[in-house]
Amino acid sequence: SCAWEIASVKLLTSIATRNSRVHITHATCFKTIEEARNYGFTVDVTPHHLLNVSESYNYYLDCLAKVNPPLRDNVERGKLVKALLLNLVDAIASDHAPHSPKEKSYPYLVCPAGIASIEIWPRLLWRLVVERIMGADELLRLCVWGPASILGLDNLYGRFAPGYRGNIVVWEIGFERVDGLEYSKARYTPYWMFIAGGHVKAHYIGGKLVYNKHIGFITRPKTINPFERLKGHESEH
């Protein structure tokens, strides 16, 4: 419940040391965000707590929408969106938690919690930009610059500038329905037939093209440990 979330934030204030950095992840209630901000904590929210998933599914019975923390009612969801628009949120976290279709077909009380959405959620939230509810710069702050800053990686990620990693998404704007997942092994979604605000045309990782809509995946990107890269950058200075 929201009361437990708020109590958890208050508990952290009692045990956090002075000048420590505290981040509250997956907040689902407006009061939780207010409480976190009052203490100088950073806070993120998830796409499924912002989107109207609970209206599409009986979220007390359907495992597709089972997640921790649980989905709130539409009143609380509306307050969460309000917090987003008031710039009270520092980042949006995907909370991508894939499971096999078989696992998600189990009865609600025993099926695993989690929503697989990494392939879809940017498209769904971009609708806020298309409908002029939120500016593109603000959504990019929440999805790109905000997370990089919280993790202390803002000199490697979050900007299109020399010295940065060069992860770029080429986007095509337009309304369209979500009709399934193309690439995820978790081929189920509670967002079936939701209206999205566009789709990915191309994706660059480390400055190299790895995906094109008309071709599919071109190459597997080279992975790096950004925190190791950060240590090297700091040692140079």
Q: Are 158 and 148 in contact (CB under 8 A)?
A: yes
Rg of the chain in Å (alpha carbons): 19
Q: Which residues are 3's β-sheet partners?
A: none
Instruction: Based on the residue annotation, tell me whether 179 is a catalytic residue of this protein.
Output: no
3-state secondary structure 149-176: HHCCCCCCCCCCCCCCCCCEEEEEEEEE
> How far is it, in rounded angstroms, from Cα 84 to Cα 138?
10
Contacts of 15 (CB under 8 A, 6+ apart): none
Tokens of 52: 């109207």
> How far is it, in rounded angstroms, from Cα 30 to Cα 93?
16
| Set 62, 73, 90, 95: catalytic member | 95
Amino acid at 73: D
> How far is it, in rounded angstroms, from Cα 31 to Cα 28?
9
Contacts of 1 (CB under 8 A, 6+ apart): none
- Report the catalytic residues: 95
